[in-house]
Amino acid sequence: MYFNAANIMLILRFYFKDKNMQTEINGFKIVHDYGYTKNKLTRWARVECKICKREYDTVYYGLKHRNHCGCSYRKDGKKLSNYAKSHPRLRNCLKAMITRCHSSKDSHYYCYGAVGIFVCDDWKENTDRFCEWALANGYEDNLTIDRIDNSQGYFPENCRWVTKADQNRNKRNNVMSFELANKIRKEHGELSYRQLAIKYNVCKSTIGSIIQNISWKES
């Protein structure tokens, strides 16, 4: 048999697998050691999370680099939302709102943050408060968040949960007309989609639909 570094490591792991068992690693209690997989390369164990005390299966040697099971805290030590597990869609909804309103690098920023649309500090700084408001004000998984007054930002008094169809009826680009659409088509040769979207205060997708004659079709 040819003994290279990998083969030697396999032999050592197999020989010492019962001699190096630990009851705890980095604060994680080892509930049950499953041993190595058939290829003897990966060792699994059932462990108890040192934060929430939940039991789960994980790779044995990865525990020394973990702070929790993913339940409560991020890598930087800050606590996650209490709704991280039960309502992940709400967390993603808030994250998307904050990004398009407060990050100039976001592709939709020009339709939101650039024209003064913002997310209130209470929601921006505390995910749980946003989730609590949503669950107390008609949130369902098939609904989307909608601003009652589209010239204002995201805050409790200006937001509601509606169907996608209702939200589309309340968009700022509903001021569009055939006359304006034809004007956009004529200006397309001189201005980009983005420039047209900013000029007419509509989303870039609306500009694309007009220029491609998908919506507001030329007669």
CA terminus-to-terminus distance, the chain: 80
Q: How does pLDDT run across 138-187, given as a tens digit for each residue?
A: 999 999 999 988 888 999 999 999 887 666 555 554 467 788 888 888 88
Say if CB 92 and CB 85 are below 8 A apart.
Answer: no
Position 33 pLDDT exceeds 60: yes
Considering the chain, what is the average pLDDT of its residues? 79
User: DSSP assignment of 149-173, as one string?
Assistant: STTS-B-GGGEEEE-HHHHHHT-GG
Beta bridge partners of 28: 25
Q: How does pLDDT run across 36-71, given as a tens digit for each residue?
A: 777 767 888 889 888 777 788 888 777 888 877 766
pLDDT greater at residue 60 or residue 125: 125
Map residue 119 onto helix, strand or coil: strand
Confidence band for 16, pLDDT divided at 50, 70 and 90: very low
Say if CB 189 and CB 181 are below 8 A apart.
Answer: no
**Is the full-model pTM beyond 0.85?**
no
Percentage of residues in the chain having pLDDT higher than 70: 77
Contacts of 147 (CB under 8 A, 6+ apart): 117, 153, 154, 158, 159, 170
**Angle between the N-to-C axes of helices 204-211 and 193-200, in degrees from 0 to 180, rounded to the nearest 10:** 110
Q: Letter for the amino acid at 151?
A: S
The confidence score (pLDDT) of residue 88 equals: 85
pLDDT greater at residue 14 or residue 6: 6
Q: Which of 82, 70, 74, 79 is nearest to 135 (CA)?
A: 82
The confidence score (pLDDT) of residue 103 equals: 93
